[in-house]
Amino acid sequence: MQFRHALDCSTTVRFTMDMRSIQVELQSFGLRLPPYFPARNGGAGPAEGCTIRMAGRALTVPTQSHYVGSSPYSLQTQAGGAVVCREGVAIAEVEIPVRPHFYDETTPQGESFSSIALLHGADCLASTVYQNCVYWETQQACKFCGIGLSFDRGATVLEKDPDMLGSVAVQAAARDGVRHVTLTTGMHSDESYTVGHLARCAQSITAGSGLPVHVQLMPPKDLSLLDELKQAGVATIGFHLETGDPGILESIAPAKSRCGIQRFMDAFMYGVELFGSNQVSSFIIVGLGEDADSIVRIAEKLCRLGVFPYVLPLRPIPGTPLSSLWPPDHRQMIAIYKRIAELLHDYGLSSAASKAGCVRCGACSCMCLFEKET
Ligand code: SF4
């Protein structure tokens, strides 16, 4: 992603908070934006918000949820740059994203490339290859997920064509510096179709652009289906357990609970065999009600298997059942990041060693800032 240069901000005051704490706070409080600033509020995963570049890295921050209005943080822009202010005082220069060039291209059918894939973080191309889910709008749906929202808004295509995705990846790499790809998907009722579609998309991208591809999906009942992803050239894979607390999993993500924690564990082990240690990951969302010790316990269980626990704060998305919640307290996040960083170090895992996807991108979490310490 190209960013507009930061302001040469002689008005930025000396501020005692370190940049790491500011980034954690930004993800917990959100950032109030000027009205014209681009943001997104749909899609799978932690989708609401915008990306800024701060202290040398891309960071996604909430911008549109109910709690953002009371955040001490605001963005001020002038021609050519921007600063983040805390309680009205400019504290950090930031860069704001420039609209990617590939967004302006269209497929032969007239679909905008931006309806097929988006730029995430600094250099990650991301697409939800099936923008619906067999569980969407049922009692089984994950309560934090907004997968159907962008389709309802007409912002995206329901099912991405592998060839089109391949073309988008080529242009995104050539024109906007994209270096890796994240593919996520809602589930079809036929899991072999879901896996096959992901495999065709990944194959098309790697064949055309050579970019490493990360895929995210529910663990299939038949784990041997994952071989197809490996054969398609997929570099890394994510099965998102979200929490290690079975009660919370049942209330927040009933379909995942019904799938069962054991199937996730089996998929993690199978995935590590196929893709290698550090190339399998799971989101662990802080803020669903799980206490810190339980989060650290499940993270350690994953680390022991060679699975990267991608710990990140809850991002309540407007329009989802969790929209009225608040992200977790920043002090809780810092304490958890520090404990997970020690685990990552002890088990020889690192975000820098991930070949593709959310772990490599890191923009929705501040985990990588704490890793450097250990
Ligand atoms: S961490 Fe994942 S969801 Fe967040 S911006 Fe990066 S690729 Fe997208």
195-219: per-residue pLDDT in tens?
999 999 999 999 999 999 999 999 9
Give the residue-averaged pLDDT of 55-75: 95
Give the residue-averaged pLDDT of 315-330: 94
The whole-number pLDDT of residue 191 equals: 96
Question: Which residue's CA is minimally distant from atom 4 of ligand 1?
Answer: 364
The whole-number pLDDT of residue 48 equals: 74
Give the residue-averaged pLDDT of 63-84: 91
Distance CA 68, CA 326 (A): 10
Distance CA 25, CA 328 (A): 10
DSSP 8-state code for residue 180:
E
**Ligand 1 near 121 CB (within 6 A):** yes
**Ligand 1 near 45 CB (within 6 A):** yes
- What is each CA distance from 287 to 28, 199, 295, in whole angstroms? 10, 33, 10
Distance CA 217, CA 191 (A): 10
The whole-number pLDDT of residue 374 equals: 46
Pairing of strands 307-313, 50-54: unpaired
Q: What is the pLDDT of residues 92-125, one digit of tens each?
A: 999 988 899 999 999 998 999 999 999 999 999 9
Set out the domains of the chain in order of their start, with CATH numbers: 19-95 (no CATH), 101-371 (3.20.20.70)
The whole-number pLDDT of residue 3 equals: 53
Distance CA 28, CA 62 (A): 8
Mutual angle of helices 292-305 and 261-275, in 10-degree steps: 40
Using alpha carbons, select from 167, 62, 180, 203 the residue that is nearest to residue 119.
180
**Ligand 1 near 364 CB (within 6 A):** yes
Residue 373 has pLDDT above 70, yes or no: no
Question: Which residue's CA is minimally distant from atom 7 of ligand 1?
Answer: 358
Distance CA 339, CA 167 (A): 42
List CB contacts of 40: < 8 A, sequence separation 6 or more.
Answer: 47, 48, 49, 50, 118, 150
The whole-number pLDDT of residue 81 equals: 84
Give the residue-averaged pLDDT of 253-266: 97
Mean pLDDT of the chain: 92
